Structure 1
Amino acid sequence: MSAPDGDGSFRSGFACFVGRPNAGKSTLTNALVGTKVAITSSRPQTTRTVVRGIVHRPDGQLVLVDTPGLHRPRTLLGERLNDLVLSTWSEVDVVAVCFPADERIGPGDRFIVNELTKVRRTIKVAVATKTDLVTPERLAEHLLAIAELGRATDTEWAEIVPVSATGGEQVDLLADLLLALLPEGPALYPDGELTDTPEEAIVADLVREAALEGVRDELPHSIAVVVEEMRLRPDRPEDKPLLDVHANVFVERESQKGIIIGHKGSRLREIGSAARGQIEAMLGTPVYLDLRVKVAKDWQRDPRQLRRLGF
């Protein structure tokens, strides 16, 4: 698989996107991989697990680690998500910090970059995301502000790269730059494999993504999804398979259960329909999706419930 690059070497390794919640990290991961491996949403804190997306190239293999947004935690779940981010940073070859161009650099960005200075050996890259949402003048200001933040925090940026993941602008350039920063080495994953995240985890994320759309602002942090069972229906002919997926959508309060279910089940049917379409597109198999909504009282603050829900 290794037609080498100009200097005759094949490079492979891990790069990690970090940034404030909703900085465009998952959208960028999906754009680089070329397919959906990380869920995206207009809601902050969509990502809760580390997702690996794998970019295969003739000159190397770039493994992208997508992490939850680093934030000042208010719950035990928040603390655990932050611990996950910090442990990931020290294990990858390159950390790429995402700064959305449509927002000014603020205390949250400084907090992240200051935390990143504790990780000495990892190469740091700055990525200006969502460049399609701003004027060239505003983008120029943003790039200068990123450079200044590096100086102020004694952080050496190996590169500062503006990209638009939705528009596809400079995504290939970013892949080139990240790959060039990786060590020489053989491919880490088989050709054609796009993620090492278990299918059940991706299906749970797709259901949660569908549940997040259009609900009240306080709900996103309160929704967790667990796939209880996922298997091909045994009595179907091989040319007409059907995948049975049974999943529970957990919320923290009875009132939230009503919001997710909706009037006479209308909202839950919408969630099921949207999620089923995404799961079928990802797995290439018709799906029967059975969703149940359950209450796990204050699960974000309860260690026992967090374990049960996979955190």
Structure 2
Amino acid sequence: MTSAPQHPSLVGPHDEGDAHRSGFACLVGRPNVGKSTLTNALVGEKVAIMSARPQTTRHTIRGIVHRDDAQLVLVDTPGLHRPRTLLGERLNALVQDTLGEVDVVAFCLPADQKIGPGDRYIASQLAPLMEGRRAVPVVAVVTKSDLVDRGRLAEHLMAVDELARSLDRDWSAIVPVSARDGYQVDELTDVLVAHLPAGPALYPGGELTDEPEQVMVAELVREAALEGVRDELPHSLAVVVDEIVEREGSGDAAKGRPPLLDVRVNLFVERDSQKAIVIGKGGSRLREVGTNAREGIEKLLGTRVYLDLHVKVAKDWQRDPKQLQRLGF
């Protein structure tokens, strides 16, 4: 073991001079510790949905950071947690599969929360990766550092260091960041890039994610639907895009009028009471969801959108293998 976590700017395990680097970094952590927000901050654009509710991310969203000297592909995973449903088990399996395919892991621990059982559980899952000939470096990323004063941040950094030592391990680095105000976001990029092997760019320049358009559309609708709702809904809401089709005769290139896309989306919940929450009194809430989601979808697709939302009940879908498969899990 090394005597202490190295300073971020000094971490650089690959001695390949000025060679271009490329590879994958996986962001892991408890639900709602800021992984999606950090992904967006690192990329500089919104590629992962953000919500104040836990368990927002359901897919591994790849965000691509382009630099002259490197290309860093970020994999944002669902929050790793002790599963209570079949869905939870599958989300955890998704995280574990991802961990075995990346060059570096960023373990996110929020500065405004003490290290708890969930963090210790994740650290114990990461520990086996950090040893052996094919050890994967793990960088401890202290998110939401803007929410605490310097004294409390220093205490948290020491607690994060002790978490690794309790497992007879060392983090490759400990980096406090704030995605909200940009504090040390570039420094974190430097740390992650330092762990990538030399290699050419993996994706074309300017491409920010490799997620299909339908997945991104579904995520934008899900984000809008999660805002301001009760705690139980995020675990029970699934969104599936039925189709995206261009309305015939809607565009006129000569007049500079872009085509209109009809986007039909189904929102699935587990109970009638949850359906009522999503729709709202007289459909008011669903209209608000549509308005908020449409703005992001139009920006994503680069044209006008008519968004047609339908809310359906798929009873106990989180525990039903057939329904999970139908909903894309």
**TM-score range for the pair, normalised by the shorter chain length:** over 0.9
Question: What's the counterpart of residue 234 of structure 2?
Answer: 220
- Which one of the candidate residues 142, 152, 164 is aligned to 1:150? 164
Question: TM-score, normalising length from structure 2?
Answer: 0.91
- Which one of the candidate residues 118, 142, 151 is aligned to 2:128? 118
Deviations, residues 43-81 of structure 1 (Å, cap 9, x unaligned): 000001001000000001000000000011110000000
Deviations, residues 153-189 of structure 1 (Å, cap 9, x unaligned): 1222111000000111110111111111100011100
- Counterpart Cα distance in 2 of 1:58 and 1:259: 48
Mapped pair 1:46 → 2:60: no
Say which SS state the counterpart of residue 128 (structure 2) adopts. coil
Deviations, residues 241-279 of structure 1 (Å, cap 9, x unaligned): 212100000011112111111111001001001111111
- Which one of the candidate residues 136, 139, 159 is aligned to 2:153? 139
- Counterpart Cα distance in 2 of 1:246 and 1:77: 25
Mapped pair 1:196 → 2:210: yes
Question: What's the counterpart of residue 32 of structure 2?
Answer: 22
- Counterpart Cα distance in 1 of 2:91 and 2:169: 24
Mapped pair 1:130 → 2:130: no
- Which one of the candidate residues 41, 46, 71 is aligned to 1:31? 41
How far did 1:217 drift?
A: 1.1
Structure 1 spans left out of the alignment, 5+ residues: none
Q: Is the deviation greater in 277-286 or in 12-21?
A: 277-286
Mapped pair 1:210 → 2:220: no
- Which one of the candidate residues 187, 190, 195 is aligned to 1:176? 190
Mapped pair 1:266 → 2:284: yes
Say which SS state the counterpart of residue 248 (structure 1) adopts. strand
Q: Is the deviation greater in 225-234 or in 263-272?
A: 225-234
Check the 8 A contact 2:38/2:179 in 1, yes or no. yes
Question: What's the counterpart of residue 9 of structure 2?
Answer: none
How far did 1:218 drift?
A: 1.2
Check the 8 A contact 2:161/2:170 in 1, yes or no. no
Say which SS state the counterpart of residue 117 (structure 1) adopts. helix
Deviations, residues 103-156 of structure 1 (Å, cap 9, x unaligned): 001111010010011224211100000001000000000100011111111222
- Which one of the candidate residues 102, 114, 124 is aligned to 1:104? 114
Task: Give the paired residue count.
Answer: 307
Question: What's the counterpart of residue 234 of structure 1?
Answer: 248
- Which one of the candidate residues 310, 314, 329 is aligned to 1:296? 314
Q: Is the deviation greater in 18-27 or in 273-282?
A: 273-282
Say which SS state the counterpart of residue 151 (structure 2) adopts. helix
How far did 1:202 drift?
A: 0.6
Question: TM-score, normalising length from structure 1?
Answer: 0.97
- Counterpart Cα distance in 1 of 2:54 and 2:273: 22
Amino acid at match of 1:193: E
Mapped pair 1:253 → 2:258: no
- Which one of the candidate residues 187, 191, 194 is aligned to 2:201? 187
Say which SS state the counterpart of residue 157 (structure 1) adopts. coil
- Counterpart Cα distance in 2 of 1:88 and 1:6: 26
- Counterpart Cα distance in 2 of 1:194 and 1:155: 34
Q: Is the deviation greater in 117-126 or in 143-152?
A: 117-126
Q: Identity over aligned residues, as a percent?
A: 68
Amino acid at match of 2:156: H
- Counterpart Cα distance in 1 of 2:24 and 2:248: 39
How far did 1:6 drift?
A: 9.6
- Counterpart Cα distance in 2 of 1:167 and 1:101: 15
Deviations, residues 188-240 of structure 1 (Å, cap 9, x unaligned): 00111100000100110110111111111111111000000012223122332
Mapped pair 1:10 → 2:20: yes
Check the 8 A contact 2:99/2:105 in 1, yes or no. yes
- Counterpart Cα distance in 1 of 2:78 and 2:49: 11
